[in-house]
């Protein structure tokens, strides 16, 4: 039986690749729906981009819902400087024709979690945690029904990518992240510590392009685009492929390793707003609340990704 998931996302090129990897793996993952949130670009673009990606994959029956258009308590910060003005700059992809669902993403999350058997649905947030936190605030009774949350966000050893201390997804809505991390739901965190080991080098990008299908070529064009920013910023051989690590973890957890530790979210710090304070060495005395992933087999990750994208 495939694992039931809901992908909560703000596409973003790396979000797009994460969605494509899930849609390419129907034997293991059943995508019940995709919920869009404001993040990398505003909501009007993230919900549109989610539909564009599903059409690219030929999976037009996936229901897509628009969610929250701003963080719980702050103005929206976006990342066009990384992802371009559309969020999916790089390839030229047609506007979507598949519909956006009328229901709000938060209502879909709540109704689905109440309807499906307890523990059977995993939430996969790839952007700011606004939709997930709003659902937990609106219907606290869903928390024990969530099978788990596997999210891309945070950083510890790699520090921040939007400020010196904070990773973008958590920084955009730290109040939402605090609600999620205090929810009691089993959480797995894929932080920058992992994603910065999953670099799209030239040979890896060439392998996507060599697939020859629409998806492979589009992914190569996407990673070509945002690579220019990250290579200049980090001086690395390629760009980190953040969000697909979430999908890869669901498919091949053996490629990853980490620790069950306490993770607190800094919401007030003058220099550290949005920091994920991971008690890696167990010095705080606080109870563990998340599995914080620290390492990935990058070769295995890219082999999996290339193999699956070839199927679309």
Positions annotated as catalytic residues are 242
Kindly compute the dihedral angle of the four CA atoms of residues 60, 6, 192, 299, in this order, to the nearest 10 degrees. Answer: -60
The residues, ordered by sequence, that sit 6+ positions from 128 with a Cβ below 8 Å of its Cβ are: 10, 37, 38, 39, 71, 169, 170, 172, 173, 176, 177
User: Residues, the chain, total?
Assistant: 312
| Rounded distance between C-alpha atoms, residue 6 and residue 32, angstroms | 6
Q: Are 251 and 25 in contact (CB under 8 A)?
A: yes
Q: How far apart are CA 172 and CA 153, in angstroms?
A: 11
Distance CA 151, CA 188 (A): 6
CA 123 – CA 145 distance, rounded (Å): 11
Distances (CA, A) of 205 to 20, 213, 224, 249: 16, 14, 8, 21
Q: At a CB cut-off of 8 Å and minimum separation 6, what does 71 contact?
A: 38, 128, 130, 172, 173, 175, 176
> Which helix (H) or strand (E) covers residue 143, if one does?
none
CA dihedral defined by 35, 39, 42, 45, rounded to 10 degrees?
-50
């Amino acid at each position: 039986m495939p694992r039931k998931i809901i992908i909560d996302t703000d596409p973003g090129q790396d979000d797009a690749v994460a969605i494509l990897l899930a849609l390419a793996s129907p034997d293991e993952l059943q995508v019940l729906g995709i919920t869009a949130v404001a993040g990398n670009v505003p909501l009007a673009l993230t919900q549109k981009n989610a539909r564009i990606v599903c059409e690219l994959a030929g999976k037009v029956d996936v229901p897509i819902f628009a969610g929250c258009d701003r963080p719980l308590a702050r103005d929206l910060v976006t990342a066009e400087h990384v992802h371009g003005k559309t969020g999916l700059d790089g390839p030229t992809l047609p506007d979507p024709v598949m519909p956006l669902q009328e229901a709000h993403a938060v209502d879909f999350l709540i109704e689905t979690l109440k309807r499906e058997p307890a523990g059977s649905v995993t939430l996969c947030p790839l952007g700011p945690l606004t939709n997930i936190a709003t659902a937990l605030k609106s219907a606290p009774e869903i928390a024990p029904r969530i099978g788990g949350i596997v999210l891309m966000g945070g950083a510890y050893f790699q520090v921040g990518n939007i400020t010196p201390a904070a990773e973008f997804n958590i920084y955009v809505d730290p109040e939402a992240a605090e609600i999620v991390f205090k929810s009691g739901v089993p959480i797995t965190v894929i932080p920058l510590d992992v994603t910065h080991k999953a670099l799209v080098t030239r040979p890896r990008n060439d392998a996507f392009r060599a697939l020859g299908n629409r998806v492979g070529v589009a992914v190569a064009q996407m990673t070509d685009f945002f690579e220019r920013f990250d290579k200049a910023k980090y001086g690395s051989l390629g760009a980190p492929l953040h969000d697909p690590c979430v999908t890869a973890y669901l498919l091949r957890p053996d490629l990853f390793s980490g620790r069950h530790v306490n993770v607190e979210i800094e919401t007030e710090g003058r220099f550290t707003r949005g920091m994920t304070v991971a008690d890696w060495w167990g010095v705080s005395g606080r109870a563990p609340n998340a599995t914080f992933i620290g390492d990935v087999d990058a070769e295995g990750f890219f082999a999996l990704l290339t193999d699956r994208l070839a199927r679309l």
